[in-house]
Every structure is written in structure tokens, then in C-alpha cells.
Structure 1
Amino acid sequence: MSNTNNTSESQGSQQSSQNSQGSHKAQKSQKSQKSQDSQDSRESRRPRPMEVLREARAQLADLTGMTAETVSSFEQTEEGWSLEVEVLELERVPDTMSLMASYQVELDSEGQLMGYRRVRRYERGRADSRGGR
């Protein structure tokens, strides 16, 4: 009889061990799926162009203290986004004599400002010369 008891006990022990392993595998699979879902949602939550434009203008205004009036160029790059933003640097009367500036603004892929530089300064009422800037 003792052989029968040992056999049924060892079968119960084996089943318990198998259930434990199966449960552990299921938990591991769920964690892996959650990690993948989290990564997918980060990738799919790339900011929309209008969000990038608004955020870039706000960040530049916060840093420079100047009003960002328009975005004159906007493109997606390998690293993120590149914009040219027109800024009112010095308000004058009449308005056509106000000093404006174009700033090159670089953003990362999530829309956070990485850097900026002034590329041009001009009076509001002045048209570009024929060659561009």
C-alpha cells in the first residue's frame, strides 16, 4: 500500500509543479505583452504636426521672452522636427518698422525643444531681396 500512496503523492506533486510552471509562464507572457503594448503606445503617440507647432512656439516664447508670430517653415527630420519661426524682437511705431527675426528651431521626435538660433533679422515692412534672405 505504501507504494500506492507514494505514487499518488508523487503524481500530485508533479501536477502541482506543472501548474506552478504553467502559471509562471503565463505571468511572464503577460508581462512581455504589457511591455510590448507600452512600447507600441509610445511609438503610436508620436505628436501630431499641429501639436509640434504649438509646442515649439510656446517653448521658444518661454525661452526668449519674445512673441512667436508665425511658423514659416516646418519639416520632419530623422532626429525629430525642424522649424523656422518668425518672432517679433522689437515693436516700433509704425508697425512696419518693428524688428522681426527668423529663428531656426530644432525639436526631438517627441516635440521637445533641443535648440534654436537666430538666422535672420529684418524690419517687418521689408521684403526679401531677390536672392532669398
Structure 2
Amino acid sequence: MSNTNNTSESQGSQQSSQNSQGSHKAQKSQKSQEDSQDSRESRRPRPMEVLREARAQLADLTGMTAETVSSFEQTEEGWSLEVEVLELERVPDTMSLMASYQVELDSEGQLMGYRRVRRYERGRADSRGGR
């Protein structure tokens, strides 16, 4: 009879201990998630990271080589870039068709959208003033 009481008491003690450990693990996990979220929110990507990632994402989406970034600025929503892309390679190279793409990224550097804003031959001077 005393064995039965001991067993139920020890089971109750073990359950209490397990509940305490589970609660402690849940608190640690929640704290870890909060810390991770805080570090993501406080760490904006560096400009060079954004440039590299934008070029890579645009190349993946369009299948075209992103050659240069001619405009780059931080906006309230994230980042805005103008990327020069090789659209059609020709011989001689000065006859290749190039295009400028306006690329919008969110604050974490993920591509949100893009559009072609102009197309031109590589060897041609731009007649539109400052661009």
C-alpha cells in the first residue's frame, strides 16, 4: 500500500517537474524568437548587400545580365534603383541593345517590382540630357 502512495506521489512530482521544464523551454523559445525579430528589425541591409541582391534577383527574373547600377536611393518603403541590363548582344559590342530598369525593393532588400524605362544601343550617346 505504501508503494502505491509513493508511486502516485512520485508521478505527481515528475509531472510537476516536466511541466516546469516545458514552461521554461517555451519561455526560452519565445525569448529567442523575440530577439531574432528585434535583430531583423534593427538591422537594415547595407547598401552593397542591397545592390548585389537586386542585381541577382533582376537577373534571375529576366534572364538578362545586369551590368551596372546607374541610380540608387533609399526610400520610405525600402530602396529604388535603376539598373542597366544587356538585352541583346550584338557584334560589334557597341551595337548591343541595352535597357534601363527601375527596380523597387522593400526595406529588407527583397525585390517588389521592376519595369523597363528605356532601351538604347550601347554605343549611342543619350540625347535626354542628364540620363
- TM norm. shorter chain > 0.5: yes
- Quote the Cα distance in structure 2 between the aligned partners of 1:32 and 1:110: 20
> Once the two structures are superposed, what CA deviation does each residue of 1:72-124 show, in whole Å capped at 9, x if it has no partner?
00000000000000000000011000000000000000000000000000000
- Quote the Cα distance in structure 2 between the aligned partners of 1:18 and 1:94: 75
- Quote the Cα distance in structure 1 between the aligned partners of 2:17 and 2:63: 66
- DSSP 3-state at the match of 1:60: helix
Percent identity, aligned pairs only? 99
- Quote the Cα distance in structure 2 between the aligned partners of 1:5 and 1:126: 94
Q: For structure 1, list consecutive stretches of 5 or more residues without a partner in the other structure.
A: none
Question: Per the alignment, do residues 96 and 11 of structure 1 end up closer, same or farther by CA in structure 2, a change over 3 Å counting?
Answer: closer
Question: Per the alignment, do residues 44 and 129 of structure 1 end up closer, same or farther by CA in structure 2, a change over 3 Å counting?
Answer: same
> Which shifted more, 121-130 or 98-107?
121-130
Match of 1:95 in 2: 93
Q: For structure 2, list consecutive stretches of 5 or more residues without a partner in the other structure.
A: none
TM-score when normalising by structure 2:
0.73
TM-score when normalising by structure 1:
0.72
- Quote the Cα distance in structure 1 between the aligned partners of 2:2 and 2:36: 54
Q: Report which of the two structures shows the higher radius of gyration computed on alpha carbons.
A: 1
- Quote the Cα distance in structure 1 between the aligned partners of 2:64 and 2:15: 72
1:42 to partner: Cα distance:
1.3
1:29 to partner: Cα distance:
13
Question: Per the alignment, do residues 2 and 122 of structure 1 end up closer, same or farther by CA in structure 2, a change over 3 Å counting?
Answer: closer
RMSD over aligned Cα, in angstroms?
Answer: 5.2
